[in-house]
């Protein structure tokens, strides 16, 4: 406060002072200063007042009205919320056989997001973590994937989102000989194609590579055909056909050491086919097709000698020995011979060969091409795989009688493709199947079969061959048109559950006959199904499964459905476009009246010809259709007003992979790219719609994860850009796969 200091003489009378001009000036100045002090602003904001005696002080200097007792509005609350996150891929409860997976997703927050981590791995992002991705390592078995988020103020959530994925381990390509370690609950199998030794958990949780070109040191396996375990020395003994050698593999490290080859003495291993470990004499016994012999290899020296062959022993000559098992109690081995169509017993003292079972010895079904063999001593029999009828025989050791244990009409589960090596453990046997590229578990009592590891994902009936797919995003479902079972099935990608929507037992109305394509119409909660056998477009109510006709046969070739393999719905839900690969036409169907018109064909529109159009989509603007021409391997653009056709990609338009045997077509969210499923290449191809360039985004050489054992059959895309395609799993049963398009990584969603 400004103070005015005036010195007054102490003897001056008060009256004189007050009456003087000076006193008047002083009083006026004092009053003005007091008024100015009362109106000064505090901190540049509200007013300050001078409190009188007995007044309560104003405790809120920010209050504009000192007489107002109402509480002030609170300041903006401090943000304490961590960023939210969601995982787009992998989907929950999925399965892979890869050691890592690309995890992609989204995150959001009112503030800037400073980091997103997945299982401790920092995610990459180009848009401030609105979208993000990271590659996460997977251990064998079940894996939990957890997303942690943090914003610029340090608000964090260590479990912002999570999912799970099962890593079933390395796949097999050409499995052959097997042996079992009961104490560790593992079966070991050699893979001829991959040059590897693989361990498989008997409870179906995982597979892992024990030794291959990248696992373990030493001479790489070339074409291993059989394996025997020496568990006392923690090693596997492997016979390699192309190396013509016996190789020792350390089960802990995977290191490989050659124990016997051309450098050792004795008859050469010219075409070794099978082996068995004889612990009593520290040796292995090997069958050799070219030598027509049973050869003993000393494990200490690696030296070899013939026990039974052309010059040793007598009896039926070995022609094509493929499997061997030791019957130690009778001091003999039992050998399968494909050319003799027999199981032989070979005496280990004198090398004498006798027939245990063939067309003249023992009764029962004929055994054409016996392959693998294992001893089931508690039941007094051997079990033998046979590759002519693809069954497993049980052969009585006493009389050679044969019965079919599993395969054909005996037992349920995936049928054998080409069974080779096998081993038995109590009431179950394990069979390597080279065509199915997997291991099959067989219940020796019932003959029932299942895949090991168990590759099934989700509950519900088995899937057949899918004729079409469509994503129902608002229902968290993928609709699958099952041409094998003539059914519409809803698959929940988050769980793998398979729900029957409509077939002969579910829903009323006309039954499916030859359903070829499906599309989801969200506004009416229904699926539209084109059926060439009926020449109808059907509507399937997803709640009841009831089927009704939207467009019936027109009674002429005009707009007739023959093989309506592709279908697209316009954004307003007024019409669908159907590509018919037999009539080479694009047909428009009015969903209100059911009326059909030819949108484009040989007589409607000019330009490149429609040639087996198998799939169709509408572009983002809805003014043109994009069609996959399977016949001439082109993508066409079709003007919906004129029917005019132009080549978008294929032939001389664009560069890259050929669009061979296309089976599915979708657009990405931007509408700039098309994705094509290629039946011949077993891959998904991306097509740039600006220049027609084509590139592989997922297949054997791009991305990790399981592939179908045959060709993909249908394709769909969800709102997050995740692709879905169908094919057969490794057990030959239909499966739904998902693909992350940036990395190409694949997972099994339902199987």
Q: Would you state the pLDDT for residue 26? A: 42
Residue where one domain finishes, among candidates 167, 191, 220: 167
Q: Quick check: helix, strand or coil at residue 31?
A: helix
pLDDT at 549 over 80: yes
Round to the nearest angstrom and report the end-to-end CA distance of the chain.
86
Comparing 66-75, 475-484, 499-508, 727-736, the range with the smallest average pLDDT is 66-75
Domain-terminating residue out of 120, 151, 167: 167
pLDDT tens digit sequence for 640-686: 999 999 999 998 999 999 999 999 999 998 889 999 998 776 689 99
Determine if the pTM surpasses 0.85.
Answer: no
Q: Give the residue-averaged pLDDT of 178-189.
A: 95
pLDDT digits (tens, 9 = 90+) for 265-296: 999 999 999 999 999 999 999 999 999 999 99
Question: Quick one: DSSP state of residue 670?
Answer: T
Confidence of residue 10 (pLDDT cuts 50, 70, 90): very low
Looking at residues 143-152, what average pLDDT do you find? Answer: 96
Q: How far apart are CA 123 and CA 131, in angstroms?
A: 10
What's the domain count of the chain? 2
Closest C-alpha among 134, 203, 136, 142 to residue 167: 142
Cα–Cα nearest to 90, from 734, 738, 717, 677: 738
Distances (CA, A) of 680 to 612, 655, 661, 663, 677: 16, 18, 6, 10, 9
Report how far apart, in Å, the C-alpha atoms of 332 and of each of 225, 276, 423 are.
22, 12, 18
Q: Which residues contact 292 (CB under 8 A, 6 or more apart)?
A: 309, 310, 317, 318, 319, 321
Cis peptide before 90 (omega within 30 of 0): yes
Give the Cβ contact number of residue 396 at 10 Å: 18
> H-helix or E-strand containing 665?
strand 662-667
Closest-CA residue to 283 (of 308, 301, 256, 261): 301
Cβ(103)–Cβ(87) below 8 Å: yes
Three-state DSSP at 270 gives coil
Domain for residue 203, yes or no?
no
Q: What is the residue range of 90's domain? A: 84-167
CB contact at 8 A, 708 and 746: no
pLDDT tens figures, 351-364: 999 999 999 999 99
Q: Measure the CA–CA gap between 134 and 102, rounded to whole angstroms.
A: 6
Euclidean distance between CA atoms 750 and 494, whole angstroms: 9
Tokens standing for residue 297: 């290899």
pLDDT of the residue at 7:
41
- Token pair listed for 104: 């992609």
3-state SS class at 748: strand
Res 496 pLDDT > 70: yes
> Would you say residue 661 lies in a domain?
yes
Per-residue pLDDT, 78: 72
Other beta carbons less than 10 A from residue 301's beta carbon: 12
Q: Per the domain annotation, does 475 fall within a domain?
A: yes
The pLDDT of residue 204 = 67
What is the pLDDT, as a whole number, of residue 385? Answer: 98
Average pLDDT, the chain: 89
> Which of 548, 549, 550, 553 shows the shortest CA–CA distance to 532?
553
Percent of the chain with pLDDT over 90: 76
Burial class (CB in 10 A: 0-12, 13-18, 19+), 169: buried
Determine the 3-state secondary structure of 296 from DSSP: strand
- Chain segment 53-96, per-residue pLDDT in tens: 344 444 444 444 444 555 555 555 678 899 999 999 999 889 99
In terms of residues, how long is the chain?
Answer: 751
Examine the fold and report which residue of 130, 152, 167 is the final residue of a domain before the chain moves on: 167
Cα–chain center distance at 436: 17
Neighbouring C-beta atoms of residue 537, cutoff 10 Å = 24
Give 386-425 pLDDT, tens digit per residue: 999 999 999 999 999 999 999 999 999 889 999 999 999 9
Looking at the DSSP bridge assignments, the partners of residue 527 are 520, 540
Mean per-residue pLDDT, 455-474: 89
Distance CA 379, CA 394 (A): 10
Which residues, 6+ apart, have CB-to-CB distance to 398 below 8 Å?
A: 380
Count other Cβ atoms within 10 Å, centred on residue 158. 11
Average pLDDT, integer, range 452-462: 80
pLDDT in tens, 204-257: 667 889 999 999 999 999 999 999 999 999 999 999 999 999 999 999 999 999
What does the CA dihedral 396, 275, 240, 266 come to, rounded to 10 degrees? -140
CATH number of the CATH domain containing 104: 2.60.40.10
Lowest-confidence segment of 144-148, 629-633, 733-737 by average pLDDT? 733-737
pLDDT of residue 332: 98
Q: What is the pLDDT of residue 66?
A: 47
Instruction: Give 336's DSSP letter.
Output: E
Q: Which residues contact 121 (CB under 8 A, 6 or more apart)?
A: 134, 135, 136
Q: For strand 715-717 and strand 141-151, is the pairing parallel, antiparallel, or unpaired?
A: unpaired
Task: Judge whether 681 lies within some domain.
Answer: yes
Instruction: State the burial class of residue 574 (Cβ atoms within 10 Å of its Cβ: 0-12, 13-18, 19+).
Output: exposed
DSSP 8-state symbol, 310: S
**Residues 8, 536: Cα–Cα separation, whole Å:** 117
- CA 617 to mean position of chain CA atoms: 25
Q: Is residue 17 part of a domain?
A: no
CA atoms of 548 and 261, how far apart (whole Å): 72
pLDDT at residue 4 greater than cutoff 60: no
Looking at residue 576, which CATH number applies to its domain? 2.120.10.30
Percent of the chain with pLDDT over 70: 87
**Cα 476 from Cα 497, distance rounded (Å):** 11
Residue 176, domain member (yes or no): no
């Amino acid at each position: 406060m400004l103070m005015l200091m005036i010195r007054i003489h102490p003897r001056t009378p008060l009256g004189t002072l007050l009456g003087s001009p000076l006193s008047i000036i002083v009083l006026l100045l004092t009053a003005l200063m007091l008024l100015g002090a009362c109106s000064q602003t505090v901190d540049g904001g509200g007013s300050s007042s001078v409190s009188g005696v007995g007044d309560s002080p104003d405790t809120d200097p920010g209050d504009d009205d000192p007489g107002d007792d109402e509480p002030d509005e609170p300041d903006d609350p401090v943000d304490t919320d961590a960023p939210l996150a969601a995982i787009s891929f992998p989907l929950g409860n999925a399965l892979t056989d890869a050691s890592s997976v690309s995890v992609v997703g989204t995150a959001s927050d009112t503030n800037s997001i400073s980091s997103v981590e997945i299982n401790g791995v920092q995610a990459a992002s180009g848009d401030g973590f609105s979208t993000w991705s990271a590659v996460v390592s997977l251990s064998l078995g079940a894996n939990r994937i957890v997303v942690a988020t943090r914003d610029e103020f340090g608000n964090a959530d260590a479990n912002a989102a999570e999912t799970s994925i099962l890593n079933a381990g390395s796949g097999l390509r050409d499995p052959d000989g097997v042996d079992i370690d009961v104490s560790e609950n593992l079966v070991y199998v050699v893979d001829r194609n991959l040059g590897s030794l693989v361990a498989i958990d008997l409870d179906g949780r995982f597979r892992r590579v024990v030794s291959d070109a990248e696992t373990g040191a030493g001479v790489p396996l070339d074409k291993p055909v059989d394996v025997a375990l020496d568990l006392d020395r923690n090693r596997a003994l492997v016979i390699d056909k192309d190396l013509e050698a016996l190789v020792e593999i350390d089960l802990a490290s995977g290191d490989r050491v050659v124990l016997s080859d051309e450098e050792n003495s004795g008859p050469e291993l010219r075409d070794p086919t099978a082996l068995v470990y004889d612990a009593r004499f520290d040796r292995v016994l090997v069958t050799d097709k070219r030598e027509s012999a049973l050869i003993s290899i000393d494990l200490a020296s690696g030296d070899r000698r013939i026990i039974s062959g052309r010059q040793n022993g007598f009896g039926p000559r070995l022609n094509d020995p493929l499997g061997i098992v030791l019957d130690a109690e009778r001091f003999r081995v039992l050998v399968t011979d494909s050319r003799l169509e027999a199981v032989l017993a070979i005496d280990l003292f004198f090398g004498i060969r006798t027939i245990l079972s063939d067309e003249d010895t023992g009764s029962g079904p004929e055994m054409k091409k016996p392959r693998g063999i294992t001893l089931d001593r508690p039941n007094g029999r051997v079990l033998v795989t046979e590759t002519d009828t693809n069954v497993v025989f049980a052969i009585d050791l006493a009389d050679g009688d044969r019965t079919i244990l599993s395969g054909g009409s005996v037992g349920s589960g995936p049928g054998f493709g080409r069974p080779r090596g096998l081993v038995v453990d109590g009431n179950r046997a394990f069979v390597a199947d080279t065509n199915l590229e997997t291991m099959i578990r067989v219940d020796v009592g019932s003959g029932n079969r299942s895949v090991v590891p168990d590759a099934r994902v989700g509950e519900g009936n088995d899937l057949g061959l899918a004729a079409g797919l469509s994503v129902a995003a608002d229902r968290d479902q993928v609709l699958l048109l099952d041409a094998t079972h003539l059914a519409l099935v809803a698959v929940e990608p988050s769980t793998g559950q398979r729900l029957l929507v409509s077939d002969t037992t579910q829903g009323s109305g006309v039954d499916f006959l030859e359903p070829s394509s499906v599309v989801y119409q969200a506004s009416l909660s229904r699926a539209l199904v084109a059926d060439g056998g009926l020449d109808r477009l059907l509507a399937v109510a997803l709640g009841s499964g009831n089927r009704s006709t939207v467009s019936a046969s027109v009674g002429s070739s005009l707009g007739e459905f023959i093989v309506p393999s592709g279908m697209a719905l316009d954004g307003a839900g007024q019409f669908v476009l159907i590509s018919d690969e037999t009539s080479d036409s694009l047909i428009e169907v009015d969903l209100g009246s059911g009326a059909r018109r030819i949108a484009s064909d040989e007589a409607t529109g000019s330009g490149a010809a429609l040639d087996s159009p198998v799939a169709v989509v509408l572009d983002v603007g809805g003014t043109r259709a994009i069609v996959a021409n399977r016949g001439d391997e082109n993508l066409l653009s079709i003007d919906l007003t004129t029917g005019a056709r132009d080549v978008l990609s294929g032939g001389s338009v664009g560069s890259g992979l050929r669009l061979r045997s296309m089976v599915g077509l979708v657009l990405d969210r931007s509408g700039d790219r098309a994705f094509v499923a290629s039946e011949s290449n077993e891959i998904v191809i991306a097509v740039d719609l600006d220049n027609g360039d084509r590139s592989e985004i997922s297949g054997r050489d791009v991305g990790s994860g399981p592939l179908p054992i045959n060709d993909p059959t249908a394709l769909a895309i969800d709102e997050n850009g995740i692709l879905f395609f169908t094919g057969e799993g490794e057990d030959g049963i239909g499966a739904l796969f998902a693909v992350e398009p940036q990395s190409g990584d694949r997972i099994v969603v339902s199987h």
